[in-house]
Amino acid sequence: MRLLSFLIGILLLQSATAQVLIKNVNVVDVEGKKILAGYNVVALDGKIVSIDKDKMYKLPDGTEVIDGSGKYLMPGLTDAHVHFFQSGGIYTRPDVIDLRKYKPHSAELDWVHTNMEDFLRRYSSIGITSVIDVGASLSPFAIMETEEGVRQSVRDQLPLHTDFIKIWYIVLDKDLEAGARKNLPFVKAAIDEAHKNKLRVAVHATERITAQLAVEAGADFLVHSVADEILSNEFVQLLKKNKTVLCPTIVVVGNYDKALGNTYHFNTHELSVANPVTVGSILDYPLPDTALAAKYIAGMGSPLQKKAGQRTDSIMMANLKLLIDAGVTIATGTDAGNIGTQHASSYYEELKAMKQAGMSNWQILEASTINGAKAVGEEKQWGSIAKDKLANMLLLEKNPLDDIANLLTIEWVINKGFPMKPSSFVQHTPTILAQQQLNAFNAHDLEAFLEPYAEDVEIYTFPSTLEMKGKVEMRKNYQFVTQLPKLYCNLINRIVQDNIVIDQEEVFGLGEKPVYGIAIYIIEKGKIKKVYFSNKE
């Protein structure tokens, strides 16, 4: 289990010294719950060295000066619950839906490892400067069979410099409480051994009894909501007394239902931010196995499953409100990587759910910054704008206290003192651009479909007949994307050569029969500049 407060590799090519001054800015003080108007913030060598008003500075040559007038400087965001051995796509959990004959799990894991940098860049691009991975692969998992074996498993992690220990407190016994108490000695042994070695402990516990027993045993961090019953005041007060941090992960369960039930509708933000490959796998469902998918779709659409999902959601939302009202420490986390819950883009869906549960904007900002640091015991190192802390900050154009959506108005992401524009993080390769527009086409989102195209894009019928030019004309001619509910483009084959992508496509929903064709995309300066179509029915 690892904490990643990351600095994207491209920055390593820059000077080793990060120097920045943000002048006359409104500082969002998440610990004091106040706005410090007209302050100057200085970061040197990756750390905040000064937060003052009307002070003269003698700064090193090369210090970047940013005018923050009328803008808001806040700590970088934290996703306190992600899984980097999972992609968020349809192939990522063969224990949930087994599609390994179409894509071996080893190939899925290899793909995730190869695309780790892309995931991190996407997190950075929307202001998430720290993520907490609460389970990086299946290999380090150890079954709790004896107390000494549990202790040894904890000690085995020490040479790996792990940040914390995670316990999966899952009970399969018919008598839930009896099963939980039967395994309690193992949980206690793991927590005790971890604390002896100055490691905090996160516990996966979604039932009230397992969560309660874990907290009584000294758990520091509960990584899910209790979803089986409304919490008692006694348990809520126990969490508060023990200073246990809880990460509710509200949307992940529903995302499974929507993805496997073929009812997931990506919004424009998700289509723009998430990795297009994993989004594409969800949009292509019920492919590649329509017979298997049909069983899941029927199951997820059954009245019994819908009722169970609604009950779980209502319990989680009610419990979050109880916890917030009581002053329990809540950390924002998504459980990203699970089927349907995309890395980076799912964060704002989680914030919306937290808002819906009754959290104030201040509470959401706390949960998304300083409380993530508290979850791993590093609140003295990062998580707020304070002297000597890591200079992970966001410069926003609008006040996030007015509207949580203003968290998306990022002008600068300052990561360990390096200021970067949000648009500079993600590398828009030809493959990514082609897949991004294909996803938006299949999601019937016209604005997301147009986003990868250049303003002066040219659309041709092969080989040289110009059909339209510019996004304005393209927007007018592609209204059908939003108007045909059965519209779907199946990618049969793709060839990529330098800045050219050639897609062989099968398009449904334009008429009684599918339309087959070739689309040739020519990419220039990070945008699709020309497209050539050759179609036949």
User: Helix, strand, coil proportions of the chain in percent (round to 5)?
Assistant: 35, 25, 35
Mean pLDDT calculated for residue range 119-134: 97
Higher pLDDT pick, 15 / 384: 384
Of 128, 71, 190, 118, nearest in space to 331 by CA: 128
pTM over 0.75: yes
DSSP, collapsed to helix, strand or coil, labels residue 468 as strand
Predicted local confidence at residue 137, as pLDDT: 60
| Among 52-66, 112-126, 325-339, 411-425, the least confident range | 52-66
Query: For residue 316, what are the CA distances in angstroms to 62, 178, 227, 230?
Result: 50, 24, 5, 8
CB atoms within 10 A of CB 403: 13
CB 384 within 8 A of CB 78: no
Predicted local confidence at residue 465, as pLDDT: 96
- Please write the tens of the pLDDT for every residue from 358-380: 999 999 999 999 999 999 999 99
- By DSSP bridging, strand 465-469 and strand 453-461 are antiparallel
Q: How confident is the model at residue 320 (pLDDT cuts 50, 70, 90)?
A: very high
Backbone angles phi, psi at 400, to 5 degrees: -70, -15
Query: For residue 148, what are the CA distances in angstroms to 154, 196, 202?
Result: 10, 14, 20
Q: Whole-angstrom distance between the N-terminal and C-terminal Cα of the chain?
A: 52
The matching CATH number, chosen from 3.30.300.160, 2.60.40.10, 3.30.2130.10, 3.10.450.50, for 430-536 is 3.10.450.50
- Please write the tens of the pLDDT for every residue from 266-313: 999 999 999 999 999 999 999 999 999 999 999 999 999 999 999 999
- Please write the tens of the pLDDT for every residue from 236-266: 999 999 999 999 999 999 999 999 999 999 9
Of 256, 283, 286, nearest in space to 267 by CA: 283
Spell out the residues 6+ positions from residue 106 whose beta carbon is closer than 8 angstroms to its own. Answer: none
Tell me the residue type at 190: A
Whether residue 44 has pLDDT greater than 70: yes
Predicted local confidence at residue 62, as pLDDT: 85
Residue with token string 């193992």:
186
Predicted local confidence at residue 521, as pLDDT: 98
CA 179-185-187 angle, 5° bins: 85
Cis peptide bond N-terminal to 463, omega within 30: yes
Of 197, 195, 119, 193, nearest in space to 150 by CA: 193
Query: For residue 79, what are the CA distances in angstroms to 128, 131, 250, 395?
Result: 7, 5, 13, 18
Mean pLDDT calculated for residue range 310-319: 97
Residue with token string 């009328």:
70
Q: How far is 118 from 274, CA to CA, in rounded Å?
A: 10
Beta partners for 25? 39
Fold held by 10-75+381-424: Urease, subunit C; domain 1 (2.30.40)
Average pLDDT, the chain: 94
Whether residue 14 has pLDDT greater than 90: no
Q: How confident is the model at residue 55 (pLDDT cuts 50, 70, 90)?
A: confident
CATH code assigned to 78-375: 3.20.20.140
- Please write the tens of the pLDDT for every residue from 480-527: 999 999 999 999 999 999 999 999 999 999 999 999 999 999 999 999
Of 197, 195, 86, 200, nearest in space to 135 by CA: 86
Q: How confident is the model at residue 228 (pLDDT cuts 50, 70, 90)?
A: very high
Q: What is the DSSP string of 339-368?
A: TT--TTTHHHHHHHHHHHTT--HHHHHHHT
Backbone angles phi, psi at 275, to 5 degrees: -65, 125
Whether residue 9 has pLDDT greater than 80: no
DSSP, collapsed to helix, strand or coil, labels residue 64 as strand
- Roughly what angle, to the nearest 10 degrees, separates helices 276-284 and 430-442? 30
Q: How far is 413 from 514, CA to CA, in rounded Å?
A: 45
Q: Which two tokens stand for residue 175?
A: 């008598």
Domains 10-75+381-424 and 78-375 share a fold: no
Q: Which two tokens stand for residue 302?
A: 């059954």
Q: Which two tokens stand for residue 335?
A: 């459980």
- By DSSP bridging, strand 410-415 and strand 47-52 are unpaired
Predicted local confidence at residue 144, as pLDDT: 87
Whether residue 139 has pLDDT greater than 70: no
Predicted local confidence at residue 537, as pLDDT: 54
Spell out the residues 6+ positions from residue 323 whose beta carbon is closer than 8 angstroms to its own. Answer: 231, 236, 239, 246, 330
Beta partners for 466? 460
Q: What does the domain layout of the chain look like in residue ranges? A: 10-75+381-424, 78-375, 430-536
CB 199 within 8 A of CB 156: no
